[in-house]
Amino acid sequence: MVVVDALDQLGGQMSVLYPEKPVFDVAGFPRVRAQDLVDSLVEQAAPAEPTYLLGHDAVELEQFDDGVAVTTDRGVRIRAGALLITGGMGRFTPRPLPAGGDYAGRGLRYAVPRPAELTGRDVLIVGGGDSAVDWALCLEPLAASVTLVHRRDAFRAHERSVTELRASSVRLLTPFEVHDVRGDERVAEVDVSGPDGVQTLRVDEIVAALGFKADLAALSSWGIGMSRRHIAVDRSMRTTLPRVFAAGDITDFEGKVRLISVGFGEAALAVNNLVPLVRPDLPVVPGHSSDAA
């Protein structure tokens, strides 16, 4: 088994964007830290001795009667009996803060993988989605101050998180937008504009949580059936291409729910349905994992 990932570490968005975020939708875990969940998944997969190709983009797909071949952007070609695509949102890059100029890495960041780095800092968070609200709540007990600017009064984040946010000490400025960012070597001041004009805020760090752009260019060149920028699958997680399956956030079908717990179930469906293609002597349901323990 070979796992190809464009990132240089395992765990996808959970490891890169919010390793400290608590996850609540995994059965059996009332609350689990995202990075701890990733570490447990890696440990669980270890007995299968997977080969990890990190920092590789899957760019080319070849199909044969008895399998497929995937070639990466670094020239590595993998021949397999079947392919399972679990690409999440694809290769993702943050949407830039227009007024941020060239302050990225100099007080402007687009993710908070290590919240402790912002301890004692005056932090401005820009955005109104789950990431913005989650980071505001995460940083509240660490930072000297947290201000959240959003261009609308309503938030896109989960209702429970928004309720916690409104009850917290985080300063909310809505509807406001970042108008200008200033500083010599680093971010020092930010002008935000709202109904009452422009306010100048003294900040040490800006966290721009404006969402991400997904790059699915490689998949579109494979001739795979797409639906609303996602891969269309049937009830067995089959795509429109023979021996190619998909699971997780990257898939789309009627009633689709994009949760981690749902992705786990889809992966199990895909694996059990592709196994007979690779091992014709095995049934779709080969048995329970506890039977082989």
Is there a binding annotation on residue 58?
yes
Query: Rounded to whole angstroms, how far apart are CA atoms 44 and 53?
Result: 18
Pairing of strands 122-126, 205-208: parallel
Contact 176, 159 (CB under 8 A): no
Is there a binding annotation on residue 204?
no
4-15 burial: b if 16+ Cβ within 10 Å, else e: bbbbeebbbbbb
Is there a binding annotation on residue 8?
no
Amino acid at 193: S
Helix locations, 46-179, DSSP H = 130-139, 159-167
Query: Rounded to whole angstroms, how far apart are CA atoms 133 and 155?
Result: 9
Shortest CA distance to 113 belongs to which of 88, 138, 95, 93?
138
Shortest CA distance to 265 belongs to which of 227, 224, 231, 236?
236
Is there a binding annotation on residue 249?
yes
Is there a binding annotation on residue 92?
yes
Query: Rounded to whole angstroms, how far apart are CA atoms 229 and 110?
Result: 23
Whether the upstream peptide bond of residue 175 has omega within 30° of 0, thus cis, is yes
Query: Rounded to whole angstroms, how far apart are CA atoms 200 and 91?
Result: 35
Cα–Cα–Cα angle for 260, 263, 265, nearest 5°?
Answer: 120
Q: How crowded is residue 150: how many other Cβ atoms within 10 Å of its Cβ?
A: 23
Q: Could you list the residues known to form a binding site for FAD, using ranges.
A: 5, 13, 18, 58, 92, 249, 290
Binding residues, by number, are 5, 13, 18, 58, 92, 249, 290
